[in-house]
């Protein structure tokens, strides 16, 4: 068991990659065996993530150097800097890992029925496993170049998954937009990595953070990195691709894409807080992120009002919710250099943003899955064609309502728990930001009430008389997310103490992250 | 190689990146867009390789090494990885463009666009 935990960070990535390459082989033998392999490997990875999380809460940051004589030895004797590929998992990374494993499992279980009528399912699951492995790699890596490689793995498999239903024209367009944005963003990340490498001859995040001088070139690299990650997470003004890609992908893929965007948000936070940290004066950066967040909230919600396509509407709502996280992170960054303000409200703002990340993945995931369930039964995403579905699809209706209420920040659901943290901390920074946030939440509620009434309420339409509830696996996947939404909403204090607070502390404690890597120097 | 000013490759890389961003933002043809991304990748790769160059250096192969400095090995490894990844990206983008052309009969990004607003 100890050996398993010592090697768990690489095993999580390795097992998923191995399963991805086995899937085409097993898929030739039988579909059932293939599904068991896919679900089994994802469940095993999730179990390892939870075991690793428990280990990190007791023993601190987990460091794994690939190919070293002992796994924790990042800096071998005779070397002054880390030379190997190093995985470094702290409280923040493992929180992302937990979100990613839950979301991936729910999305895959949902696709078992949802994709069952499609061709090329074996290739679909291979790509899903590759994408999940890439996402875990992004969260666990302690090396900038690895971050680039895993970012590309996630983007390529994500784009292929969006475009997997080649019979529709719009899927190709959405997939193409996604791959163009992703490849440009990844190349910008690579360029910034080159700029950093040219000065310090280092690629390791911890070692780079220690050596950081914050020269002119470092500022340039910071700007490029922030721009690239903002492009990938769909913050305004580079949000145009997001609604197109999210609305046309199979919903289970969209749920994975949401979590992949969150991992870019994680990379953004890692860059700002850990790589640059207090050595840099990040007040201006914080304000830029706040402005981008406010714009995302506003444009996201106003564009959502006029949509008639249900998945496209939820996609715009995603842009709006990312705005809340960006505002929280931006406030944290703006007061990072001021210990008094940081203790008074900066930490809470960052906690709120992190808590909202996990909640966002859950409730947007649930909304998309419910929209996918409707599409599965009636074959259209157009709200004007729907009506009275609540009579026959009772579970789907309840799940959709749950997701909508959580997204609008209505107590006692999880969206309220994180939004209140953001509201009260941001209020101390600048009251106007909180007022905008509450206003946006109210409009979100109005938008979702419109959707709920046009899709589920009203007299049953004759043409949907034979529509049945969706299969059990789809209900199970939605139920997992719904139960977590309710639990997180009822016990926000527990969740904050258990996972959010350690993650915030890990993010703010730059010295511990550096020590875990370079502290091994005798 | 000694006669080339050392910052010449960096200027070339910057020029490549600038031109490719112009192409990516302003060109309407999807194939030209892909060419722009390929150029961006080449620009970044050129930047990485020239980072590792040392004047008069030899290739970083450790067996039977001649006297004198060696160029850095790490940027070359990064460049190789990046080339491999970009081949995959370009291939995927081209297949998508073929599908877009099949569905819409056009390669113009304004005409083949279905989704707006």
Tell me the pLDDT tens digit for each residue of A49-68: 999 999 998 888 888 888 77
Question: Tens of pLDDT along A215-243?
Answer: 889 999 999 999 999 999 988 888 889 99
Q: What is the pLDDT of residues B81-96, one digit of tens each?
A: 999 999 999 999 999 9
pLDDT at B2: 53
**Which positions of chain A have pLDDT values less than 50?**
521-522
pLDDT of residue A521: 44
Q: Which helix (H) or strand (E) holds A63?
A: strand A62-65
Q: Which residues contact B70 (CB under 8 A, 6 or more apart)?
A: B54, B57, B58, B59, B60
The answer to whether A183 contacts B89, with C-beta atoms less than 8 Å apart, is yes
Instruction: For chain A, give percent helix, strand, coil, nearest 5.
Output: 80, 0, 20
Do B44 and A184 make contact, defined as CB atoms within 8 angstroms? no
Could you tell me the residue ranges of all domains in chain A? 281-490
Cβ distance A180 to B37 less than 8 Å, yes or no, reads yes
Output the CA torsion sign for A373, A378, A381, A384.
Answer: negative
Cβ–Cβ contact A476 with B under 8 A: no
User: What pTM, to 2 d.p., does this model score?
Assistant: 0.93
Write the DSSP assignment of A330-347 as a string of letters. HHHHHTTT-HHHIIIIIH
Apex CA A67: angle with CA A66 and CA A70, to 5°? 90
Report chain B's C-alpha Rg in angstroms: 19
Tell me how many residue pairs between chain A and chain B have CB atoms under 8 A apart: 91
Q: Dihedral of the CA atoms A88, A91, A92, A97 (nearest 10)?
A: 80
CB proximity under 8 Å: B 76-105 to A: 78, 81-82, 85-86, 88-89, 92-93, 96-97, 99-100, 103-104
What pLDDT does residue A460 have? 83
Please report the pLDDT score of residue A92 as a whole number: 92
* Dihedral angle sign, alpha carbons of residues A64, A68, A69, A74: negative
pLDDT of A190: 95
Distance CA A431, CA A443 (A): 19
Domain annotation for chain B: domains and CATH numbers: 8-60+67-104 (1.10.287)
pLDDT at A387: 82
Exposure string of A56-73, with b = 16+ CB inside 10 Å and e = fewer, is: beeeebbbbbeebeebeb
Task: Report d(CA A164, CA A66) in Å as an integer.
Answer: 34
Write down the pLDDT at residue A522.
36
Contacting residues of A for B78, CB less than 8 Å apart: 145, 190, 193-194, 197
CA A185/CA A9 separation, integer angstroms: 26
Nearest-CA residue of chain B relative to A305? B117
Strand ranges, E, within A220-297: none
Residue A412, preceding peptide bond in cis (omega within 30° of 0)? yes
Instruction: List chain B residues with CB under 8 Å of A145.
Output: 78, 81
Query: Tens-of-pLDDT digits for all 117 residues of chain B?
Result: 455 666 888 899 999 999 999 999 999 899 999 999 999 999 999 999 988 887 777 777 777 777 777 788 888 889 999 999 999 999 999 999 999 999 988 888 877 777 766
Alpha helices in A141-250 (DSSP H): 144-162, 169-200, 205-211, 216-233, 240-248
- Which chain A residue's Cα is nearest to B116? A244
Looking up tokens 């860059």, which residue turns up?
A271
- The answer to whether the CB of A162 falls within 8 A of the CB of A171 is yes
Identify the bridge partners of residue A64 per DSSP, sorted by sequence position.
A87
Distance from CA of B88 to the nearest CA of A (A): 8
> How far apart, in whole angstroms, are the C-alpha atoms of residue B89 and residue B95?
10
């Amino acid at each position: 068991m100890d050996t398993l935990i010592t090697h768990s960070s690489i095993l999580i990535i390795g097992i998923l990659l191995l399963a991805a390459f086995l899937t085409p082989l097993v898929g030739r033998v039988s579909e059932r065996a293939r599904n068991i392999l896919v679900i089994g490997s994802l469940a095993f990875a999730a179990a390892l993530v939870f075991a690793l999380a428990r280990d990190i809460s007791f023993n601190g940051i987990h460091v794994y150097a690939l190919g070293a004589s002992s796994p924790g030895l990042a800096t071998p004797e005779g070397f002054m800097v880390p030379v190997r590929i190093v995985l470094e998992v702290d409280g923040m990374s493992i929180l992302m890992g937990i979100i990613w494993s839950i979301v991936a499992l729910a999305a895959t279980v949902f696709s078992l029925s949802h994709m069952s009528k499609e061709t090329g399912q074996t290739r679909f699951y291979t790509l899903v496993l590759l994408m999940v492995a890439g996402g875990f790699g992004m969260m666990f890596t302690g090396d900038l170049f690895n971050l680039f490689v895993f970012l590309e793995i996630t983007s390529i498999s994500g784009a292929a998954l969006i475009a997997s239903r080649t019979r529709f024209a719009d899927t190709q367009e959405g997939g193409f937009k996604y791959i163009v944005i992703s490849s440009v963003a990844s190349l910008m990340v690579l360029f910034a990595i080159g700029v950093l490498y040219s000065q310090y001859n280092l690629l390791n995040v911890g070692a780079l953070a220690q050596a950081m001088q914050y020269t002119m070139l470092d500022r340039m690299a910071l700007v490029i990195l922030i721009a690239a990650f903002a492009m990938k997470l769909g913050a305004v003004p580079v949000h145009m691709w997001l609604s197109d890609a999210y609305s046309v992908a199979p919903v289970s893929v969209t749920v994975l894409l949401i979590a992949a965007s969150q991992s870019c948000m994680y990379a953004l936070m890692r860059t700002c807080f850990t790589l640059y940290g207090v050595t840099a004066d990040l007040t201006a950066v914080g304000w830029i992120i706040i402005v981008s967040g406010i714009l995302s909230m506003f444009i996201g919600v106003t564009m959502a009002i006029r949509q008639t396509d249900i998945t496209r509407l939820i996609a715009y709502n995603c842009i709006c919710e990312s705005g809340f996280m960006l505002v929280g992170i931006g406030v944290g960054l703006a007061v990072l250099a001021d210990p008094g303000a940081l203790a008074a409200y900066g930490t809470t703002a960052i906690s709120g943003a992190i808590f909202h990340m996990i909640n966002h993945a859950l409730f947007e995931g649930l909304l998309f899955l419910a929209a996918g369930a409707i599409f599965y039964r009636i074959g259209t995403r157009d709200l004007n064609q729907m009506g009275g579905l609540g009579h026959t699809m009772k579970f789907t209706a309840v799940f959709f309502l749950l997701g909508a209420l959580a997204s609008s920040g209505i107590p006692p659901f999880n969206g309220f728990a994180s939004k209140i943290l953001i509201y009260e901390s941001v209020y101390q920074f600048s009251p106007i930001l909180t007022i905008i946030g509450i206003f946006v939440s109210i409009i979100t509620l109005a938008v979702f009430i419109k959707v709920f009434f046009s899709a589920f309420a009203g007299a049953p339409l004759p043409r949907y008389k034979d529509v049945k509830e969706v299969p059990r696996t789809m209900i199970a996947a939605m139920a997992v997310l719904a139960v977590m939404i309710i639990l997180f909403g009822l016990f926000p204090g527990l969740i904050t103490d258990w996972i959010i607070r350690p993650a915030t502390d890990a993010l703010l404690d730059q010295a511990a992250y550096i020590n875990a890597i370079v502290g091994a120097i005798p | 190689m000694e006669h080339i000013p050392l910052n010449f490759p960096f200027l070339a890389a910057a020029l490549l990146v600038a031109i490719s961003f112009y192409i990516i933002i302003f060109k309407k043809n999807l194939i030209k867009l892909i060419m722009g991304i390929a150029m961006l990748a080449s620009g970044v790769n050129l930047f990485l390789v020239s980072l590792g160059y040392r004047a008069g250096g030899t290739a970083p192969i450790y067996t039977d090494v001649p006297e004198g400095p060696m160029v850095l090995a790490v940027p070359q490894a990064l460049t190789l990885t990046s080339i491999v990844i970009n081949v995959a990206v370009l291939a995927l983008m081209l297949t998508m463009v073929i599908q877009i052309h099949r569905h819409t009969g056009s390669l113009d990004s304004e005409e083949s666009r279905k989704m707006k607003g």
